[in-house]
């Protein structure tokens, strides 16, 4: 009788290993995963709330205003200075906090303007209800664009050779064309065009080849580990205010967050949950910009919000999924 080419003990081990190795279908039910993802997130809608009233003329005016440095006191800052969207950038300046018109530093990180109109409110503390209200704030903020008053803003706009015509085209039925309210409405109209489209949207719509197996495992982990306690909805965030340090306290206790707006003790250290769309491009992270790299932010969030110490392998999977949320046409600012 011939001896087996492989010892019987090794064969047994090999058979057991094969039996214990899950197939892709057993390991990852893609149809179930897609169903869960669409229920929890959904794809980014075609239009932002309020866009039904926008016209090409209003958007064109808003774009000109968005890039106009004359909306700052010393004509050094525009909306785009802190929320860069030209040259395919991701709506941020990638600074911890941003310089204002006179080099004064803001106290919070500038969030991305991409998809911002899908959020429940604007600013980290939600003090502005919508894009229009938000657009009015930085222009008159003494730390940011530092214009002294609305009248000075309108004086500059009226002196421009193009703005009277552009405002008339954008607001043909308004009794007064160049107003501060119309200025903000036009900027908001332009910002409502800043929606993104990524591979995760493609996968949710049925393109099985849009995501790799590793990225799908990252999505599975994202759903299972508890990230969706806060990060839900089409832009995977922006739908609620949550305490920074839900399970374990955050080290920075100088910024009371939404409490400054509501004066409600329950709102202490609560901030608007940021969108995770384009998160790979929008470093540094958190309201104070303290986390320079995505892997550090993921690890910190696991500790602070979930009370979990994520392994290096788990971090790797989560980051793989987060990278699928990058718009196909956007890029990060060079370091």
Catalytic residue IDs: 144
Q: Give the residue among 221, 216, 205, 194 at the shortest CA–CA distance from 277.
A: 194
**Residue 123, both tokens:** 């600013």
**Residue 179, both tokens:** 């107003």
**Residue 148, both tokens:** 């002294």
Q: How far is CA 75 from CA 98, 162, 243, in A?
A: 16, 18, 37
Residue by residue, DSSP assigns 106-123 as PSS-----TTGGGSSSBS
Distance separating alpha carbons of residues 94 and 173, to the nearest angstrom: 40
- In a 3-state reduction of DSSP, which class is residue 331? strand
Distance separating alpha carbons of residues 281 and 7, to the nearest angstrom: 53
CB 97 within 8 A of CB 215: no
Cis peptide preceding 11, ω within 30 of 0: no
CB 273 within 8 A of CB 230: yes
């Amino acid at each position: 009788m011939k001896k087996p080419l492989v010892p019987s003990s090794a064969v047994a081990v090999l058979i057991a290993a094969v039996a214990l190795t899950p197939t892709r279908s057993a390991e990852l039910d893609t149809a179930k995963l897609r169903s869960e993802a669409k229920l929890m997130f959904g794809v980014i809608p075609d239009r932002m709330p309020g866009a039904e009233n926008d016209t090409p003329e209003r958007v064109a005016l808003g774009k000109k205003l968005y890039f106009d440095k004359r909306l700052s006191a010393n004509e050094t800052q525009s909306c785009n200075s802190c929320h860069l969207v030209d040259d395919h950038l991701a709506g941020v300046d990638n600074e911890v906090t941003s310089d204002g018109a006179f080099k004064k530093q803001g106290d919070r990180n500038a969030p991305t303007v991409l998809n911002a109109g899908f959020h429940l409110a604007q600013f980290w503390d939600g003090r502005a209800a919508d894009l229009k209200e938000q657009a009015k704030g930085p222009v008159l903020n003494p730390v940011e664009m530092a214009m002294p008053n609305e009248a000075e803003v309108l004086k500059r706009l009226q002196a421009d050779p193009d703005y009277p015509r552009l405002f008339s085209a954008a607001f043909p039925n308004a009794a007064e064309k160049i107003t501060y309210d119309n200025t903000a409405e036009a900027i908001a109209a332009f910002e409502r065009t800043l929606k993104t489209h990524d591979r995760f949207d493609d996968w949710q719509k049925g393109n099985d080849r849009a995501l790799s197996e590793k990225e799908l495992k990252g999505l599975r982990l994202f759903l299972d580990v508890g990230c969706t306690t806060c990060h839900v909805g089409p832009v995977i965030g922006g739908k609620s205010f949550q305490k920074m340090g839900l399970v374990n306290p955050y080290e920075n206790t100088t910024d009371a967050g939404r409490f400054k707006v509501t004066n409600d003790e329950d709102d202490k250290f609560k901030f608007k949950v940021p969108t995770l769309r384009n998160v790979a491009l929008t470093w540094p992270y958190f309201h104070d910009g303290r986390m320079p790299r995505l892997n550090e932010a993921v690890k910190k969030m696991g500790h602070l919000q979930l009370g979990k110490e994520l392994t290096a392998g788990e971090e790797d999977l989560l980051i793989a999924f987060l990278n699928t949320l990058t718009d196909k046409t956007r890029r990060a600012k060079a370091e």
